[in-house]
Amino acid sequence: MSEPLSEVLPQVPSEVSSEFSSEPYGGSFARRAAELDAADELAGLRAQFVLDDAVYLDGNSLGALPRSVPGRVEDVVRRQWGALRIRSWDESGWWTAPERIGDRIAPLVGAAAGQIVVGDSTSVNVFKAVVGAVRLANGPGGEREADAGRPGPVRDEILVDATTFPTDGYIAASAARLTGCTLRPVAPDEVPDALSGRTAAVLLNHVDYRTGRLYDLPSLTAAVHAAGAVSVWDLCHSAGALPVGLDEHGVDLAVGCTYKYLNGGPGSPAYLYVRREHQHRFDSPLPGWNSHADPFGMTPDYAPAPGALRGRVGTPDILSMLALEAALEVWDDVSIEAVRAKSLALTDFFLECVDAYVPEGAVESVTPSVHAERGSQVALRCAGAGQVMRRLIERGVVGDFREPDVLRFGFTPLYVGFGDVERAAGVLARLL
């Protein structure tokens, strides 16, 4: 039998919150928080997570542990691996896990079944997607003749979000070298004007990881298509926090991680979305035996599997993949629209509490106030942000910071309440 969670998980020391949370910082805000929590239709989901006395506002980096996961992992290890052993590839469904779990993620990002495959890291999937996008954009006969004086693809430019998470930029640069393209960093707002007949692929982040700004996926995707290029979206900071609408808005390719708002655990596998109409032409730069049409034929020639399966590469990481599958069960009967509504309410309330509590001029929000431009985090510019965040964590408010001066607070509506928000703002105010 496994040990109780209370015995195997670290506990927050009792002194962490005694000084800062014995009384609410502002009575009227505390009363409003209690009223909002009482009316919250998602409040019951909090019980499905392993939480302590800390206010956990770092789900945009690592989601909290769903209670269903430890028992599932124990079953995978003890029974499926320990007893059934290799039979589990068939009897326990290991072989079909990448597409089965992809179908569980699909509704959360607005995709029909059969278009998402789970596996590999976000970085590896970005590489597959960007190279695949260049190949889709150029199509059969899309290479210039070498004797024309300019060998390479007809569409020979990749646009990448200039403010992107660094790895996306590194991967895009490598993809450009591999495909004979040039890489051009541009701000997302400048993409429509930067597009041309040379543009092959455009890699954008749905939500800016530093500021929490939400970019206009529908209009930017439409602009990319109008130029004849292929869109690739990074959904790491939006999937599980807000509606995405991949199918509705005609997104070509998308990638995302599962350890943030999807709560899959540290290093849990990422996913790749390939729009159905592109699947027969999607040419992955990483063909592997798991994406072969006949994987056990062991033939020397590669023939890609049909559908999104051609996004697979090697043997799936079964332990972390099935932990993710268990984590996704918390989404049963949960509406992503309800999650978005609570996310906006939480971030609105936090900004209101910060404005009321924190000394004027001590912090500056760099997260847009307009709902249509806000993800599910709030970023505050603050002098000495690194030290401030360390002191917040010592006092039971867990967020993170990004150089040089940004405090980041992520709001996961499945387990963050309005009382948490009010307490976090109060602790911040006392520190400043």
Which residue in 261, 408, 411, 415 is the catalytic one? Answer: 408
Which residue in 40, 161, 168, 234 is the catalytic one? Answer: 234
Query: Active-site residue 40, yes or no?
Result: no
Interhelix angle 97-105/318-327, rounded to 10 degrees, is: 30
Give the integer Cα–Cα distance in Å for 409 and 412.
10
Q: How many CB atoms lie within 10 A of CB 315?
A: 13
ω into 404 cis (within 30 of 0)? yes
Interhelix angle 418-431/385-394, rounded to 10 degrees, is: 120
Query: Active-site residue 259, yes or no?
Result: yes
Which residue in 259, 349, 350, 401 is the catalytic one? Answer: 259
- Which letter, b or e, does each residue of 240-273 get, where b requires 16 or more Cβ atoms within 10 Å of its Cβ? bbbebbbbebbbbbbbbbbbbbbbbbeebbbbbb
Which residue in 56, 127, 165, 357 is the catalytic one? Answer: 165
Q: Tell me how many degrees the CA angle 418-424-428 measures, rounded to the nearest 5.
A: 150
Which residue in 260, 275, 310, 312 is the catalytic one? Answer: 260
Contact predicate 253/230, CB 8 Å: yes
Query: Active-site residue 165, yes or no?
Result: yes
Both tokens of 357, joined, read 């509590």
Both tokens of 249, joined, read 């808005």
Catalytic residues: 165, 234, 259-260, 408
